[in-house]
Structure 1
């Protein structure tokens, strides 16, 4: 799907509860000399901001710090190629291009976890919502005492030297709009603000802070404080989980740590600690 720009006849007042993002104000607030963010584009609709930005990077048409935001995605993707859909202007759907050339490629796997920490930190400041992280990159909120997924993160390689990280976050979705009963939104979690402009600014500023800190430490998750901070906000640790692994294998045990490579370490009843680098994690019950 071809991106459609927000300028033109797309009326600002078509949904008073869900006004469009102000692209010019976002650029004024975030794009600065010496900063990470090199450009911010807001489109009314597209298939997937991740796919669009990966294609632009491959064609040499995007620089590090490019941010692509869509008011609506028709082919948004989560982990394991799951579809991600939501009503127009009901959330934040954006992708960023990062080129951490001074960080060893072996440490790039921390980027989606870093983004999770940055999003949770930014939302805590701007929305007043306690957001937890489900390993590796789901964003959880509490709705009526129940843990629900309000967002997710997807990282994809963009050529040899880049990574596109996409974020999808439900902001104003109502109960009757949720794609599945286990989904949530900031509004349902009691956010003090659901104004998407300051929410996006807070998240991108937080992402810039964490990315700069991580790069300054050459991607070292311990020196940068990323590993410790991620573990502190990770709802998966201390839980009994089932890991659905590649090759139709599953593993049940207690999630005891996130190791230096960003993998989830699961302790089984047999006393074996196995690191999991990829797979679907199901929270079974508190440990």
Structure 2
């Protein structure tokens, strides 16, 4: 599926591979720095194996294939140009070469299945935390979009994969980094560059992976207390809470009310005339401000 040479590292292994050919230096955008990725602090990225592909249709699809083949937890596939990326509800995610970070991570959680709905939420929280550290005023829109103001800078797609060695989670992350205003797909989108935040993509990739790994291991190992702290941290970073929202349900029904909190299962609590309703990420089509 990819070809390349592994670069040894005590904490983070890296391979640079190729799918669909080598791309040129598009719009003066430099490639990810393989040497710096391979030399990343092993305490930040323990056990992760990062593979950088010049181009790929969908990193989520490739990681799912590798999961079925028995790949271990910690595999990270990064595409310099993702040509057929997917978001929630099969929405498309396309970016010009080297203008974004598009990557997927393989996780094999041992936490109880009933707590898995927290995975997309903690991923969104981890991405927003890394972006804030880079100077962006990032917030989370429940369940897992990351916003700058009211515009989307990052999308997340989590898929469960049944494998011979047990269920796995494929976490796909896309972050608009260097896209110009003309390159943004919709008016509701934004990039870090358009927002005036200059970052190095290699540094940002390391920071996001470190933030995600920290949140994931805390969730895995921390029990109920860690779950409560995660819920509190997520709520503090969530722009949805306290606002009037319209929740579109798959049945065609619409729920309107005030987003008041996140319950222990990661569901959004919406107060309305009839009381209060908890909705899960898998049960909604859209959540929008009224």
Alignment of 1:1-287 (within 5 A): 10=22, 14-15=25-26, 17-29=28-40, 32=42, 36-60=46-70, 62-101=71-110, 103-125=111-133, 127-142=134-149, 147-159=150-162, 160-191=166-197, 193-218=198-223, 220=224, 223=227, 225-270=229-274, 272-277=275-280, 278-285=283-290
Contact 1:170 1:186 in 2 (8 A): yes
Matches of 2:227 and 2:247, distance apart in 1 = 29
Single out whichever of 37-46 and 17-26 deviates more from structure 2. 17-26
Structure 1 residue 24: Cα displacement? 3.6
Matches of 1:152 and 1:15, distance apart in 2 = 23
Alpha-carbon displacement from aligned partner over 1:187-211 (angstroms, at most 9, x marks no partner):
11221x3210000111111111111
Matches of 1:100 and 1:239, distance apart in 2 = 33
Structure 1 residue 228: Cα displacement? 0.5
Structure 1 residue 87: Cα displacement? 0.5
Structure 1 residue 18: Cα displacement? 1.2
Matches of 1:75 and 1:225, distance apart in 2 = 36
Matches of 2:203 and 2:212, distance apart in 1 = 14
Structure 2, unmatched stretches of 5+, are: 5-15
Contact 1:255 1:266 in 2 (8 A): yes
For the structure 1 residues 228 and 33, does the alpha-carbon distance in structure 2 shift closer, same or farther, using more than 3 Å as the test? closer
For the structure 1 residues 165 and 10, does the alpha-carbon distance in structure 2 shift closer, same or farther, using more than 3 Å as the test? same
For the structure 1 residues 224 and 252, does the alpha-carbon distance in structure 2 shift closer, same or farther, using more than 3 Å as the test? closer
Q: How many residues in Structure 1 have an aligned counterpart in Structure 2?
A: 272
Structure 1, unmatched stretches of 5+, are: none
Q: CA RMSD for the aligned pairs?
A: 2.2
Could you say what secondary structure the match of 1:156 adopts?
A: strand
Structure 1 residue 162: Cα displacement? 1.2
